[in-house]
Structure 1
């Protein structure tokens, strides 16, 4: 994660994880059960394009999931690609996830 995002807090609402950067948002829509968090869609406001904000919200969310003790279901293609690029995060993916062997 780029240093400029490290101190920006991750906010969890009932539908998304998000960070705010200069009045603009990068977020991930999710669904949560007792044992799993499914990440559905990642998006950043156009003003944040190319800044690394989307990667920052993903990394902060993965840290949150790991700390919660839940397992990840990376349905979002961006999150899936992030984990392929950073395979150390595979440790929190639910082994029953359909694409687990492709990570």
Structure 2
């Protein structure tokens, strides 16, 4: 059985990161007083099919929930993840709800 993936919140680079076999996958973030913007996710080809993108999305969204932040999912991967997982949709910032096809 594979070990669970470990996500590190790297405040210096403003990224949630997973390291696997010497490579790093990440979701960038920008913190604001009442919301977090998630502009970009990168996962090298070696990470495909290992659930790394979902793990990064969950870590970023968990962080937002734990800190009472709304989410501006500018990253298409994160936006798609939220659309597929209704349990996160309450976190979407009002200015992004229409983009994701969510009620205001």
| TM-score normalised by the chain length of structure 2 | 0.82
CA-CA distance at 1:101 after TM superposition:
5.7
User: Taking structure 1 as reference, are residues 31 and 81 closer, same or farther at Cα in structure 2, changes over 3 Å only?
Assistant: same
CA deviations 1:55-81 (Å, max 9, x no partner) are 111111110111011110011110010
Aligned runs of 1:82-97 on 2, under 5 Å? 82-97=81-96
Give SS of 1:65's match. Answer: helix
For the residues of structure 2 that align with 1:41 and 1:4, how far apart are their CA atoms? Answer: 27
User: Taking structure 1 as reference, are residues 68 and 38 closer, same or farther at Cα in structure 2, changes over 3 Å only?
Assistant: same
Q: Would you say 1:17 and 2:16 are equivalent positions?
A: yes
Give SS of 1:50's match. Answer: coil
Gaps of 5+ in 2: none
| TM-score normalised by the chain length of structure 1 | 0.83
Cα RMSD, aligned residues only: 2.1
User: Taking structure 1 as reference, are residues 16 and 52 closer, same or farther at Cα in structure 2, changes over 3 Å only?
Assistant: same
Deviates more, 1:36-45 or 1:92-101: 92-101
Q: Determine which structure has the larger strand proportion and give its number.
A: 1
Gaps of 5+ in 1: none
Q: What number of residue pairs does the alignment pair up?
A: 101
